[in-house]
Amino acid sequence: MNTPPVTREQQVIDAAREQQAIENIAAIRKLQLAVEWVELHPGDQVDTSIEWGMRDLEIAGDGAPTIDEGAVAEFALAIGVSTDSGRLYLGDAVELKYRLPRIWAKVTAGVVPVWKARKVAQATRSLPIDGAAFVDRALYFVLRKCSFAEIDRQVDQARAEFDPEAAEERRRKAAEKRRFDVHLRDMTHDGLVPVTGMLDLADAVALDQRIAAKAATLDPALPLDVRRAAAAGMLGATDHPDQGIVIYAHVRPDQTRPWSTSTTPGR
């Protein structure tokens, strides 16, 4: 029985798979070397009584080793990144090995890609040791398939349980990002005004539903975006239904007045 010839298409896809496997192995090895580099160049002990975000030159969370600052730039140069990016990479590596050991094991076994494990490491750095362990247990078995939203949810849950003061501070700072701006100074020549804002999810959903409901009552011949913009404008007029807008038009004596031919009273 003759074996069918391998097509060029199959050769290309096989070669792509082979190269991806080589890249995965190289990524794991580079992460392992990053850990070894940190271990070969220990830094000073940190004062854990200081808030994590205020500590100088700490590259990972409590329980992970520090590194001599002079060694960061050398490693960054070796892997072709900036010093700041090198510091981040080294921190991700030791965060995984020392504070997220279950995820580290999955990474070194080739089950979880390095880039996704680093996403977790960057999210858990500011957590206390127990909080990082909570995330490690929650995600190591499902990390290969879980979404970034699930990673964030587990980290937020760990922070709320193991560092409630920090969780409340983050909640307060997040609330301060809320805003709603009507940019009257940026009005276009045809009277359109840009609007931007940042709302709580519940408020945003309620506003979207109210605008959608109002837009559905307007002329369907108009584009949906136009109807939604008009509906949003009508929300601001509900408290003052009789409020009008006065437009002052400056014309030369020889110009034709656009309203002069109107037969409608009051126009």
Whether residues 110 and 37 share a domain: the answer is yes
Measured in degrees and rounded to the nearest 5, phi and psi for residue 74 equal -65, -45
Q: What is the pTM of this model?
A: 0.68
Express each pLDDT in 82-106 by its tens digit: 999 999 999 999 999 999 999 999 9
Predicted pLDDT of residue 11: 93
Q: Is residue 4 part of a domain?
A: no
Taking the C-alpha atoms of residue 124 and residue 136, their distance in angstroms, rounded to an integer, is 9
- The encoded tokens of residue 130 equal 């127990």
Whether residues 125 and 97 share a domain: the answer is yes
pLDDT at 259 > cutoff 50: no
Taking the C-alpha atoms of residue 10 and residue 266, their distance in angstroms, rounded to an integer, is 77
Number of Cβ within 10 Å of residue 11's Cβ equals 10
Whether residues 94 and 118 share a domain: the answer is yes
Whether residues 91 and 140 share a domain: the answer is yes
Closest CA to 151 of 166, 161, 162, 136: 136
Contacts of 90 (CB under 8 A, 6+ apart): 34, 37, 38, 59, 67, 72, 75
Q: Is residue 252 part of a domain?
A: no
Whether residues 18 and 53 share a domain: the answer is yes
If one counts the domains in the chain, the total is 2
Express each pLDDT in 112-152 by its tens digit: 999 999 999 999 999 999 999 999 999 999 999 999 999 99
What domain range includes position 220? 180-235
